[in-house]
Structure 1
């Protein structure tokens, strides 16, 4: 995929740094970086289950996810308010 140099050079903008990678490779990289032995942050948690719903709100910055409802495999639900990042994978 060619980079759009004309779009950026014509508007005096720097071409954004981009990395093309397949989804499975990116998922493995993120998993290793975030959840590996040298875990980046103790604020990162994984939850096994299915995302049942996302509730969004609009503010001055646009739309954002306000609440995530996750159904666990045992049928219980977890509600997360104001999540910083939600990433899900399909089986």
Structure 2
């Protein structure tokens, strides 16, 4: 025979199962959002690594001695001095 106490217990357990199911759905939704964010961050990180490599390469080419010399000659009109020759007559 089903007593009133058993019905209350079944009802309480059903309510607990319902709330736990809702929590499971919330957590599953949050995990999927976090997974998407992680993938977006991985793509952004890869793009930033590529950009960093390009900037490092540009830095070294811009600061190369030959490039600095060329800029000095073109924009500032600087001319490289030729070494003086010393002739010793004997």
Q: Which has the higher contact order (CA 8 A, sep 6+)?
A: 1
Q: Which has the higher helix share?
A: 2
Higher strand share: 1
- TM, length-normalised to structure 2: 0.19
Relative to the length of structure 1, the TM-score reads 0.19
Q: Which has more radius of gyration?
A: 2
